[in-house]
A = this chain, B = another copy of it.
Amino acid sequence: MKTQEILKKVKTGEISVEEAELFFRRQPFEEMGYAKLDTHRKMRSGFAEVIFCSGKADEHLLNIFGKLYDHDGEVLGTRATRHQYEMIKAAYPEAVYDEISRIIKIEKPGKQRVGKIAVCSAGTADIPVAEEAAQTAEYFGSHVERLYDVGVAGIHRILSRLEVIQSANCVIAVAGMEGALASVIGGLVDKPVIGVPTSVGYGASLGGVSALLTMINSCANGISVVNIDNGYGAGYTATQINRLAVSQ
């Protein structure tokens, strides 16, 4: 035990009172092994680092992309522009790009996907965010089922797919405008529902804040919410839940 060692050295005069005092001023933090947290975490979590490409300078992006590829043998980048893709493609020809989700990636071949996550979108305009969620979850090894354009203004659309959402370990509900999809799904399943408000809409949609408020205020049980347009975050959390369900 470090504390004891130092105190013993104080007693024996090996270190001065002043040196010991300095140690105890920093002690609450240094004693806790935080320096090991980082690598420990990566080993444990099974989630490799992901690149948020938006706004990154070309050189910087290429550099990070390469680093991660060298380390993990695969890379996922979100919110990438076509220009960024082409730049990376030139250096890494195996990189692929999806125009809709704006995801760029190199994925290890033969990856197996387990469990089940259902990704639902209210309208066709919400599909880019839904795809970011779906592809993130797939990249991290989850099996994904997509139910798009099942908004509550035509309730028969989601009801006709009940079996799919009820058999998933986690459901992601992606919706802009009035954002009511999460509540309706929350009432139909008994697994966690992750709401993703989108910035799709106009007027009083307030860039997604209205949909966020709708989802946060949901009267249905089992709903929690991530940031507006944060498909990546929803896919990540859903995978954490999905893994818990299959790994036990």
A residues apposed to B, CB below 8 Å: 1, 3-4, 7-8, 10-11, 13, 17-18, 20-21, 24-30, 32, 34-38, 40-41, 43-47, 54-56, 60, 122-125, 127, 148-157, 159-160, 162-163, 166, 169, 177-180, 183-184, 186-192, 194, 197, 199, 201-230, 233-234, 236-237, 240-241, 244-248
Besides the known contacts A7-B20, A203-B212, 7 further A-B residue pairs in the complex with CB atoms under 8 A apart: A4-B18, A10-B11, A60-B124, A153-B187, A178-B214, A199-B203, A224-B237
The CA of A180 and the CA of B127, in the complex, are separated in Å by: 21
| Nearest B-chain residue to A55, judged by Cβ | B125
Question: When the two chains form their complex, are residues B217 and A223 in contact, meaning their CB atoms are under 8 A apart?
Answer: no
* Interfacial chain B residues near A206, Cβ < 8 Å: 209, 213
Question: When the two chains form their complex, are residues A212 and B204 in contact, meaning their CB atoms are under 8 A apart?
Answer: yes
Question: When the two chains form their complex, are residues B155 and A191 in contact, meaning their CB atoms are under 8 A apart?
Answer: no
Question: When the two chains form their complex, are residues B123 and A219 in contact, meaning their CB atoms are under 8 A apart?
Answer: yes
Interface of A is mostly: helix
* Interfacial chain B residues near A178, Cβ < 8 Å: 179-180, 183, 214-215, 217-219
- Name the distance in Å between A177's Cβ and chain B's nearest Cβ: 4
- Name the distance in Å between A15's Cβ and chain B's nearest Cβ: 10
* Interfacial chain B residues near A123, Cβ < 8 Å: 219
* Interfacial chain B residues near A7, Cβ < 8 Å: 10, 17, 20-21, 24
* Interfacial chain B residues near A155, Cβ < 8 Å: 29, 34, 37, 155, 159, 184, 187-188
The CA of A63 and the CA of B161, in the complex, are separated in Å by: 24
Choose from B29, B156, B169 the contact partner of A157 (Cβ within 8 Å).
B29
Question: When the two chains form their complex, are residues B213 and A210 in contact, meaning their CB atoms are under 8 A apart?
Answer: yes
Question: When the two chains form their complex, are residues A225 and B216 in contact, meaning their CB atoms are under 8 A apart?
Answer: yes
Choose from B26, B125, B127, B229 the contact partner of A163 (Cβ within 8 Å).
B26
